[in-house]
């Protein structure tokens, strides 16, 4: 009779394994259920996280300004709408910038954190809008809010730096071109100055002034010629009436103030009066009459000799013409004749000067007419160079104000939220995930266990 063998611990373990392997699906299901339960427990034991969310918005329209500069031109500054171009969407650019290493480094440094601890923000673009939704998680609601503000500040700082760099590069490019325009303007200005130094013409206004001066001189010349003709007719007519020339009329007036001539005239008048009385009393043949007649002739002879010293001739008719004592009106006419002659002489001199000035201006105008074409060409070149230079300078100043051309302005639509409800872990999500895992594993095990029946059923139907 054989003795019973006492099983060892190894025999007991081997027997347990054999019993388990008899039910493999049950074992597999139990292990899978256990793994899912462990995952759910691990998820629920994770530290609580809170999310802060903010919304950013981009403007939908551009801005433009139109400034007219007197004697310079027009400067147009225009910032196009950020969505007008079909090449790119600025929201996508800003999304990538929010997740870029530079922005995250600056935001994490502001909070004295590492980039790993700071984490990646979640950026969502709302369709058919210009709104960007940004959310970021942290261990406390306050810290999540601080991280959102730090991210927004870092993004704005990065945009400001990019805009400043763009403006600087653009300004440097325009300044290089502006220097070329400045040199061209200076060359055109120096060409005008050199031409003005070599020529009689300084500006185009000068030729207009010369034309006006020529017209004025011509008008004065015609006026003086008419006045001169009138004066000549007046002097000639008055000389014929007085039977004395203007020169002799001036001598006649001078003799009236000469005491010698006055004495001769008085002596002659007395002799003539005495002769008249003697002739009336005694007749022409009386010795006293003859003697008085000789005295009168002698007085007349002395007077003629004296007048001859001034006029160079001795003529009784001339002496009679120069005698103005007999009529005050005749003396007045002598004075008018002398004044008219003096005015006639002055008018002739003035006419000569006017004619000389007219000839001189006409000669200068001929020379200036040939030079004005060259000056006009140089002035047009200078105006063009100056207009290009001032336009470029104005465009440079206008571009400094257009800082939102490439990087549109980004505004805060809603400030970072302060949420006290944790976003993870959530019990509902853990239970749903566990139930889903349990159901999925159960279905899978059933399919494996009844696979033969399922295959036969499919074959029968086919």
pLDDT, tens only, 69-95? 555 455 555 555 454 555 567 888 888
Report how far residue 39's alpha carbon sits from residue 42's, in angstroms, rounded to the nearest whole number: 5
* Element housing 187 (H / E): helix 141-198
Q: Where are the domains of the chain?
A: 15-33+425-462, 55-192+408-414, 206-377
- The enclosing H or E element of 230 equals helix 204-242
Give the range among 54-68, 192-206, 274-288 with minimum mean pLDDT: 54-68
pTM of the complete model beyond 0.85: no
Q: What is the pLDDT of residue 157?
A: 92
Stated as kind and residue range, the H or E segment containing 131 is strand 131-138
Range of 149-158, 303-312, 331-340, 365-374 with top mean pLDDT? 149-158
CB 406 within 8 A of CB 90: no
Q: What is the pLDDT of residues 244-276, one digit of tens each?
A: 666 666 666 555 656 666 666 666 667 777 777
pLDDT for residue 324: 45
**The tokens of 172 are what?**
């440097």
Average pLDDT of 191-216? 79
Q: How confident is the model at residue 197 (pLDDT cuts 50, 70, 90)?
A: confident
Among 53-57, 172-176, 331-335, the range scoring the smallest mean pLDDT is 331-335
Contacts of 225 (CB under 8 A, 6+ apart): 351
Residue 151: the pLDDT is 92
User: Do 172 and 379 meet the contact criterion of CB atoms below 8 Å apart?
Assistant: no
- Better-predicted residue by pLDDT, 13 or 184: 184
Beta-strand runs (E) in 29-130:
50-57, 63-69, 73-79, 122-125
Q: Which segment of 31-35, 143-147, 158-162 scores lowest on mean pLDDT? A: 31-35
Assign 153 a pLDDT band (cuts: 50, 70, 90): very high
pLDDT at 207: 76
Q: Report how far Cα 25 is from the mean position of its chain's Cα atoms.
A: 89
């Amino acid at each position: 009779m054989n003795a019973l063998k006492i099983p060892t611990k190894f025999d007991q373990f081997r027997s347990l394994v054999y019993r388990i392997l008899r039910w493999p699906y049950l074992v597999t299901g139990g292990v899978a259920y256990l793994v899912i339960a462990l995952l759910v427990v691990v998820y629920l034991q994770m530290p609580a996280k809170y999310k802060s969310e903010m919304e950013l918005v981009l403007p939908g329209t551009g801005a433009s300004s139109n400034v007219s500069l007197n004697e310079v031109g027009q400067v147009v500054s225009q910032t196009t709408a950020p969505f007008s171009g079909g090449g790119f969407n600025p929201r996508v650019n800003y999304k990538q910038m929010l997740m870029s290493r530079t922005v995250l480094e600056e935001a994490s440094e502001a909070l004295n954190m590492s980039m790993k601890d700071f984490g990646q923000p979640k950026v969502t673009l709302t369709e058919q809008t210009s709104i960007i939704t940004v959310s970021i998680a942290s261990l406390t609601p306050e810290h999540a809010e601080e991280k959102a503000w730090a991210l927004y500040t870092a993004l704005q700082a990065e945009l400001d730096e990019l805009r400043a760099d763009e403006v600087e590069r653009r300004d440097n490019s325009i300044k290089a071109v502006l220097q070329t325009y400045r040199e061209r303007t200076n060359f055109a200005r120096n060409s005008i100055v050199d031409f003005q130094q070599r020529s009689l013409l300084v500006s185009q206004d000068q030729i207009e002034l010369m034309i006006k001066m020529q017209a004025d001189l011509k008008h004065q010349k015609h006026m003086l010629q008419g006045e001169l003709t009138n004066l000549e007719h007046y002097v000639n007519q008055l000389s014929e009436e007085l039977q004395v020339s203007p020169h002799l009329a001036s001598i006649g007036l001078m003799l009236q103030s000469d005491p010698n001539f006055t004495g001769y005239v008085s002596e002659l008048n007395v002799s003539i009066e005495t002769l008249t009385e003697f002739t009336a009393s005694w007749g022409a043949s009386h010795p006293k009459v003859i003697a008085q007649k000789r005295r009168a002739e002698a007085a007349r002879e002395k007077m003629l000799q004296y007048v001859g010293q001034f006029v160079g001739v001795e003529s009784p008719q001339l002496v009679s013409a120069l005698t103005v004592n007999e009529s005050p009106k005749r003396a007045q006419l002598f004075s008018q004749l002398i004044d008219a002659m003096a005015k006639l002489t002055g008018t002739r001199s003035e006419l000569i000067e006017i004619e000389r000035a007219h000839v001189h201006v006409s000669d200068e105008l001929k020379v200036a007419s040939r030079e004005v074409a060259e000056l006009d060409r140089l002035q047009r070149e200078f105006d063009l160079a100056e207009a290009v230079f001032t336009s470029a300078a104005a465009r440079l100043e206008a571009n400094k104000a257009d800082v939102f051309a490439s990087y549109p302005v980004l505004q805060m639509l809603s400030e970072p939220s302060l949420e006290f409800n944790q976003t993870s872990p959530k019990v509902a999500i853990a239970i749903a995930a566990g139930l889903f895992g349990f159901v999925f594993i159960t279905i899978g095990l059933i399919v494996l266990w009844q696979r033969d029946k399922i295959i036969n059923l499919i074959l029968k139907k086919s």
